[in-house]
Amino acid sequence: MAEQNPFKWRHFQSDIILLCVRWYLRYALSYRDLEEMMLERGLHVDHTTIYRWVQRYEPELEKRSRSHLKACNDSWKVDETYIKVRKVWMYLYRAVDSDGNTLEFLLSPTRDAESAKRFFVKALASTARSVSQACPVAEQVAPPTTPTDTTIITSTPRVINVDKNAAYPKAIAELKATGVLPQHVELRQVKYLNNLIRAIASK
């Protein structure tokens, strides 16, 4: 029996529906924000309609994408670069794991310990969500077993490689003091360890 089209009888095309659902799930947007964004693109979609789309398609998207999600490993590389965004110079903080997978990024007007702390908190929260989605619930609550391979699924880094920015040690120390970051996490300040992330950021 052929699979039923999940968008059958919908007034709008599937790509518009999926775009709204994706933007709502990925970014800090309200339903009214999305209504306004669609109106700017020539489409009148009521915010209550977008709400119904999210309720209908979010579980299905989560189910279908789970098998494709890849959890990060526990070796992070963090760096920041100075870029111009809409004629304003900003610092782009970015983190990748040792396989080159982007973990998180953050635009900040300042380059200091507070900005670094905010970025690390954001990255930790983001990778925690990725692990939760990549692992079925049964695996998350199951007792530990002997691993069958060397793949490590984790939301907490074992080591964080950074450049010589003096703000990083202060930020890491404060996060450890408040319990946000475990004490065992190692901070490595070696300038040339970040060639990988600089190459990715320049693409």
CA 133 to chain centroid, in Å, comes to 12
Whether residue 180 sits in one domain with residue 88: yes
Q: Looking at residue 184, what is its pLDDT?
A: 94
Token code pair at residue 100 = 């080159």
| Full 3-state SS string of the chain | CCCCCCCCCCCCCHHHHHHHHHHHHHCCCCHHHHHHHHHHCCCCCCHHHHHHHHHHHHHHHHHHHHHHCCCCCCEEEEEEEEEEECCEEEEEEEEEECCCCEEEEEEECCCCHHHHHHHHHHHHHHHHHHHHHHCCHHHHHCCCCCCCCCCCCCCCCCEEEECCCCHHHHHHHHHHHCCCCCCCCEEEECHHHHHHHHHHHCC
**pLDDT bucket at 198, cuts 50 / 70 / 90:** low
Whether residue 88 sits in one domain with residue 59: no
N-terminal to C-terminal alpha carbon distance within the chain: 45
Average of per-residue pLDDT across 100-106: 80
Average of per-residue pLDDT across 171-176: 96
pLDDT digits (tens, 9 = 90+) for 135-145: 433 333 333 33
Residue 148's contacts (CB-CB under 8 Å, 6 or more residues apart) are none
Domain count, the chain: 2
pLDDT at 189 over 80: yes
pTM, full prediction: 0.55
Whether residue 89 sits in one domain with residue 58: no
Domain, as residue range, for 29 = 14-68
> Higher confidence at residue 174 or residue 190?
174
- Which of 45, 68, 91 delimits the end of a domain? 68
pLDDT digits (tens, 9 = 90+) for 48-75: 999 999 998 888 877 776 555 556 678 9
Whether residue 81 sits in one domain with residue 129: yes
> Higher confidence at residue 192 or residue 53?
53
Whether residue 192 sits in one domain with residue 132: yes
Distance separating alpha carbons of residues 45 and 32, to the nearest angstrom: 10
**pLDDT bucket at 98, cuts 50 / 70 / 90:** confident
pLDDT at 197 over 90: no
Whether residue 79 sits in one domain with residue 53: no
pLDDT at 151 over 50: no
**Average pLDDT of the chain, as a whole number:** 77
Q: Is residue 148 part of a domain?
A: no
Average of per-residue pLDDT across 15-22: 87
Q: Looking at residue 51, what is its pLDDT?
A: 94
In whole angstroms, how far apart are CA 107 and each of 21, 60, 83, 92, 170?
24, 31, 9, 5, 20
Q: How many residues does the chain have?
A: 203
